[in-house]
Amino acid sequence: MSTLPDSQRVVVTGLGVIHGLGQNADTFWASLVAGKNGIDRISLFDPAPFATQIGAEVRGWNAEDFMDPKEARRNDRYTHFGFCAAKQAWADSGLSMDTEDPDRVGVVVGSGIGGMFTYETQLKKLHDGGPRKVSPFTIPALIGNICSGIIAIELGARGPNFGIVSACATGTHALGESMHMIRRGDADVMIAGGTEAAITPFAYASFCAMKAMSTRNDDPATACRPFSNGRDGFIMGEGAGVLVLESLEHAKKRGARIYCELAGYAATADAHHITMPDPEGKGLGMAMTRALKSAGVATDAVGYINAHGTSTPYNDKFETLAIKRVFGDRATSVPVSSTKSMTGHLLGGAGGIESVICAKTLQTQTLAPTINLHDPDPECDLDYVPNVARSASVSAVLSNNLGFGGQNAAVVFRAV
């Protein structure tokens, strides 16, 4: 049990998800437990010239169904996703600005890349028609902090507000830093997570040039295969995962439904390479160890790890090593899964959506699987919950995310 007072313990009371597998947390979770795959051929642009032609899109999406049409036109797709996920999480929490002090409600919803749709469309307008054709809303739409600002404007939340940018660790950093704000007494409530919409021609051309993404275009459903022999790269996803965090004292006072406690967090750097993880897993291992220490959770109490698990040759092997570094002899008995096998990789949105998964894991006592795991890499020899969801008795879970630049983040959730 925590030794912190209730005013410093941070709990999760609201969940919001926008993803191709479900445009709310419950539908999304049901898809994961069923082992559904959200990856298919890209429809947002013609992918034919690209080495990678598949992704996990949010299909059938019209932002104007969820926000003011004028505001939707002025903002980027990444903001649409984050804004709508935040509104869902706020509604799910049962909070109301009619009874909250707006100075005590903050927002930290980050994006690894920001407004790529805006950047590309406005650059084309500049190229084709000259500077007068560029929209005056271009800069606000593409910058990576604007989603937090739009959420705050909608709700009237005047507490801490900014956007974190740390590549694929963004969403997890946003949650962890928000946890610290509540513990410091800077806010009673924080809306936190990550959002991304980078399934665009320029982003795909760039990642293809790096040879970072899978080229299994003929079989999208099995292209993302974390921890498997023959894995050849990640698959891009898009969407958002946003959580409402509040102090346990605040949640108890209003009789809130509590999903779980966000009990620990840590951030470290590999200081090794701009894109390749530390081959000994030292930086990520330190993040996991420090997150567990900050949570007061022993390694033998962890019942599940949501891995970064990108399906790249280096990440999966080195993350496995990092888990072994932290858990020692127990590593092979801790269930680990990569839900990116179904969601694709949401870059800056990954930590948010995977933290929603952790909350649902504790709520439902069910572990989402790693699908497409039929031929494991001998160097990836942990229990990756292969192919089929599993019932389990879980009281604490750990989630990892790694970002380009060698940035690592880990969070620990536990039952309350």
- For 188, the token pair is 């009673």
- Smallest CA-to-CA distance from 145 within 172, 119, 121, 170 is with 170
- End-to-end Cα separation, the chain, in angstroms: 9
Write the CB contacts of 309 (distance below 8 Å, at least 6 apart in sequence).
226, 227, 315, 316, 319, 336, 337, 338, 339, 340, 341, 370
- Smallest CA-to-CA distance from 114 within 81, 86, 87 is with 81
CB 86 within 8 A of CB 66: no
Q: What's CA 105's distance to the chain center, in Å?
A: 21
Specify whether 308 is catalytic: yes
Burial of 91 (0-12, 13-18, 19+ CB in 10 A): middle
Q: Are strands 396-403 and 304-306 parallel, antiparallel or unpaired?
A: parallel
Burial of 208 (0-12, 13-18, 19+ CB in 10 A): middle
What is the rounded distance in angstroms from the CA atom of residue 217 to the CA atom of residue 223?
7
DSSP 131: G
- Smallest CA-to-CA distance from 156 within 253, 90, 111 is with 90
Determine how many CB atoms are found less than 10 A away from the CB of residue 156: 10
Specify whether 168 is catalytic: yes
Catalytic residue among 147, 250, 308, 358: 308
DSSP 237: B
Catalytic residue among 80, 345, 358, 380: 345
Specify whether 80 is catalytic: no
CB 348 within 8 A of CB 401: no
- For 232, the token pair is 């050849």
Write the CB contacts of 124 (distance below 8 Å, at least 6 apart in sequence).
none
Radius of gyration, CA atoms only, the chain: 20
What is the rounded distance in angstroms from the CA atom of residue 333 to the CA atom of residue 387?
17
Question: Would you please indicate which residues are annotated as catalytic (active-site) residues?
Answer: 168, 308, 345
